[in-house]
Amino acid sequence: MKVLISADIEGVAGVFHPEQTRAGNGEYETARRWMTLEANAAIEGAFAGGATQVWVNDSHGGFRNLLPDLLDARAQVVLGKPRTLGMMAGLEYGPALVFMIGYHAMSQTRGILAHTINSFAFARVMLNGVEVGEAAVYGALAEEYGARVALLSGDDVFAEEAAPRFPHARFVVTKRATGHASGVTQSPASAREAIRSAAREVLQQHAADGYAQHATRAAAKPVDCELRVQTSALADLFCQWPALTRVDAVTLRFSAASAEHAVRMLNCLSAMSFMLR
């Protein structure tokens, strides 16, 4: 059974402050190690539960945070950008299951370090009339590729947000939010053990229930996206792209042929936003 692990950093146990997520300081070096070890716990649990192949996708920032020498040697690591599928690169190899490790709540919520894709650029993302965070955006992409989101970890606000979207998935709550940059966390070691156990049990249950061992691509469905950006200057910039329609000073719309195309458009807009930083 093939498994893809998408690893972010904001939902990792012990991570609360933006400096922990940005390269160039000691706090980041510690946090990226915690991130790597949580990803490794998921890898170890997946293999213990019967996985035959595991890919781990570095899904934070510049996609080069994980420390490969700390990861289980049986796994393959997806690093660097740009890449077509962003936080779900690795779907091309046909995983049956997807784990989202270290994820966070969507923008404008009380989750720890909550944002959606790009905190500088995007205030709200809506797909087909539903407000979504990164888990829902990339979960739709995974499902389009025939993969099932089976395990997620992060804070309690993220778990509450994602549970209706992934009702059959397992959640590991690594910390509880009391504000955007505050809360109560498990120790990194405790969080890793919970993730390792959950990953093993998810694989074992998946096999026991007779779910498909290989992904089968689903038919792509059109996606309408409404995007609220942080400033009118960003809307000015993004609307240079003829595919976008401006609704008001900070709200834009576009249509995509599939979840994959919606993800690719959002990531292109995110990259464009760096012109205004």
Residues of the binding site: 8, 10, 60, 104, 134
Which tokens hold the place of 124? 């709200």
Secondary structure tally for the chain: helices H, strands E: 6, 12
Q: Is-cis flag, bond preceding 82, omega within 30? A: yes
Alpha-carbon gap, residue 11 to 155, rounded angstroms: 6
Contact between residue 144 and residue 220 where contact means Cβ atoms under 8 Å apart? yes
- Residue 65, token pair as written in the block: 């945070």
Catalytic annotation, pick one of 115, 168, 180, 214: 115
Nearest to residue 38, comparing CAs of 61, 59, 62?
59
Residue stretches of the annotated binding site for Zn(2+) = 8, 10, 60, 104, 134
Do residues 88 and 142 make contact, with C-beta atoms less than 8 angstroms apart?
Answer: yes
First-residue to last-residue Cα distance in the chain: 43
Q: Could you give the CA distance from residue 172 to residue 147 in angstroms, rounded to a whole number?
A: 20
Q: Is 115 a catalytic residue?
A: yes
Strands 130-132 and 122-127: antiparallel
**Residues classed as catalytic:** 115
